[in-house]
Amino acid sequence: MSQSFLKETWAGLTWTPWYTFNQIMETKSLIPASPGMYRIKPIGLNHLMYIGQTGRNLRERVTELIRNTLKEQMPFNDPHTAAPSLWAWNDAEGWEFECSVSEVELPKEHREGLECFLLWSYRVEDGESTFCNHGRFHQNYEKSKSRKSGFRGGKLQVLDQCNYAWGKSSSPLCFQGTPTSSDFMGLPWSNFIDIKQISDIPNKRGVYRVKGLKTNTILYIGQSKQLKNRLREHMKKNWGQEVKYSFCVIENTKDYQLKEIENDLIGAFFSLDNSVPTYQFKNLKIISY
């Protein structure tokens, strides 16, 4: 276990030892009943399956995930979105899993920013994403939907059919520039434009930044399959100051790859001073005209 993402000191946090799912269910007190971060890996393999966070209770969150993962049928997509994916990998590969957690007391937005930072750090070190974050899913399985929908996923029956949500990760972004610079994270960003230049934005896949002109800081980082439509929506929101928008078109990417890139940007932003853009994980009010 030479990889730093497997160590008990990863990313400057204090992590518990790795406990198997069976050990945790037999002795639930192995997991603290406090907010924090958790990571999951296959027993005997040195890559991560999932990184998550909770603001309520790690013990409840992890045991809930384990119970759903160990069900005979693929669990529904709620209450834990990672459970169907872990179930699929167990069913396909016979993998069993172990978990390690870190107690972290942070406000919601900062905790979610730390999750992005850990996911980005893992990508940089390992060269690919965790198997169950960003919407990735086993290529030979269809994912369950919500409990309300009643749709339970399972193995695809058509031999040549593959789940679109699996494949190669996007290349992890390495830190470069500053959050407002034209070369941030090595991407070819557009100039910052205002609402009058909406027609100049292509309606293609990509990522974008919202910059506040009063504070000269990035207020939000996002991704979209239709950049022009998404930024039109943002132009209706109350950012508390005049804003401009910068975007980067990234064509020929799958949905999960766009989410990986978005996460890298947020994770890198968090690495600067342990914070996220002002409105990153908040719901903004729509301005009424």
pLDDT at residue 2, rounded to an integer:
67
Is residue 17, in this structure, part of any structural domain at all?
Answer: yes
- Does the CA dihedral 259-265-266-270 come out positive or negative? positive
Q: Is the pLDDT of residue 284 over 90?
A: no
Is residue 212, in this structure, part of any structural domain at all?
Answer: yes
- 202/147 same-domain check: no
- 202/102 same-domain check: no
Task: Render pLDDT for 144-186 as a digit per residue (tens, 0 to 9).
Answer: 999 999 999 999 987 668 999 999 999 999 999 999 999 999 9
Is residue 286, in this structure, part of any structural domain at all?
Answer: no
Is residue 47, in this structure, part of any structural domain at all?
Answer: yes
**Domain with 32 in it:** 4-155
- 144/194 same-domain check: no
**CB-neighbour burial class of residue 12 (10 A; exposed 0-12, middle 13-18, buried 19+):** exposed
pLDDT at residue 159, rounded to an integer:
65
Q: Is the pLDDT of residue 18 over 50?
A: yes
Task: Render pLDDT for 213-222 as a digit per residue (tens, 0 to 9).
Answer: 999 999 999 9
pLDDT at residue 8, rounded to an integer:
97
Is residue 35, in this structure, part of any structural domain at all?
Answer: yes
pLDDT at residue 1, rounded to an integer:
46
- 205/125 same-domain check: no
- 35/104 same-domain check: yes
Give DSSP secondary structure letters for 45-95: --S-SEEEEESS-HHHHHHHHHHHHTSSSPPPSSS-THHHHHHHHHHHH--
- Quote the CA–CA distance of 248 and 259 in Å, as a whole number: 14
Are 30 and 68 spatial neighbours (Cβ–Cβ below 8 Å)? no
- 149/189 same-domain check: no
- 136/17 same-domain check: yes
CATH of the domain at 245: 3.40.1440.10
Q: Is the pLDDT of residue 200 over 90?
A: no
Q: What is the mean pLDDT of residues 228-239?
A: 93
Is residue 89, in this structure, part of any structural domain at all?
Answer: yes
- Quote the CA–CA distance of 218 and 276 in Å, as a whole number: 9
Is residue 289, in this structure, part of any structural domain at all?
Answer: no
- 144/217 same-domain check: no
pLDDT at residue 188, rounded to an integer:
97
- 13/121 same-domain check: yes
- Quote the CA–CA distance of 102 and 38 in Å, as a whole number: 6
Is residue 174, in this structure, part of any structural domain at all?
Answer: no
- 139/219 same-domain check: no
* Domain tally, the chain: 2
